[in-house]
Amino acid sequence: MKQTKLMTGQQAAALISDNSSILLFDGYEPVSLIRELLQQNSRGLTLYTCGLAFCAALLAACGAADHILAGCDPGSGFIPEAECTSGFTPEVLCVGKAVLKAQLAAAVNGGDHAAIPVPERLLTKAPALYREVPGVFGAGTGTAAAALHPDVAILHTARADFYGNVQLDPSADMRDADTLRLALAAKTVIVSAEQIVSDDAIRMNARCGLFEPEAVACVVEAPYGAHPTAFATRYRADEELLRAYEAKEDPAAFARQHLLSFPDQDCYLAGLGFERLISLTTNRRGEA
């Protein structure tokens, strides 16, 4: 008999201990699970962000993260304007998306490093991760980046079944799948999903598959689980809420009032209200 991997958000967050390293992906933001992490008062986290991740900024603003290795350029999105910014608690190192993806891919493929061009500033700032290496056939030098093995990868997806089969929506751009499968570099993969679907639905949309059950520790059903960010095949970003968050001098206080003051996802959605959610919705089931 197959074993169910369905958990509540609270149960899934409890699998993540303090001082863990966590991999996050922009566009597939597991905001509902991050709220659970913050409510359990997680501390000492190291974050790897594949893109501009709102969840990383939220964890940092609330004091949960000590380090961020950001797959973006300095000053992008929610990342501070300068690395190691004064007054910003975590140490932030922006390495670029191509470099971070190469480091994760090396881990997935069983390598210990990726041969990839690395900005000179990284060789100085993080010599444990980035170094010069002899060039091909001994000609000159090149650079290499160490493989990354996060403790946990957390992402929000469209569909999953009880047993850990995870899919994107039929209407999704499957080019994202290659990036999302870099989650397999992590020791543990935790997935929240817009909906839990049947075995038949999984089989009918096999081409949309992202992870097989053995790769996934647990799945959490979380409708609108990426709010206030967008989930491309289902709903737009809540720009009003995001602008208000960015404008606040104390984003942690804003988060406590507007994001963290609800015991679970159902209560959070009730607080937003049906009309607001429907106004953001572009496709309720993500179908073409």
* pLDDT tens per residue, range 46-81: 999 988 789 998 998 899 999 999 988 766 655 554
List 65's β-bridge partners, or say none.
45
* 250-266 mean pLDDT: 90
Question: Is the pLDDT higher at 80 or at 164?
Answer: 164
Of 161, 56, 53, 48, the C-alpha closest to 104 is: 48
Confidence of residue 83 (pLDDT cuts 50, 70, 90): very low
- Examine residue 275 and state whether it is found in any structural domain, yes or no: yes
Q: Is the pLDDT of residue 85 over 80?
A: no
Whether residue 117 is contained in a domain is answered as: no
Residue 176 sits in a domain whose CATH number is 3.40.1080.10
pLDDT above 60 for 254:
yes
Residue 173 placed within a domain: yes
Residue 138 within a domain: no
Spatial CA neighbour of 45 closest among 127, 152, 125: 152
Structural domain containing residue 225? 9-112+147-280
Q: Please indicate, yes or no, if residue 91 is contained in any of the structural domains.
A: yes
For 2-14, the pLDDT digits (tens) are 789 999 999 999 9
Q: In angstroms, what CA-CA distances link 34 with 191, 202, 207, 265, 268? A: 12, 27, 29, 11, 13
pLDDT of residue 138 exceeding 70, the answer is no
For the chain, how many structural domains are there in total?
1
Residue type, 218: C
Please name which of 72, 92, 77 lies closest in space to residue 237, comparing C-alpha atoms: 77
pLDDT at 17: 95
- Assess contact for 180 and 155: CB atoms under 8 A: yes
In a domain? residue 224: yes
Strand partners, 192: 156, 220
- pLDDT category at 134 given cuts 50, 70, 90 is confident
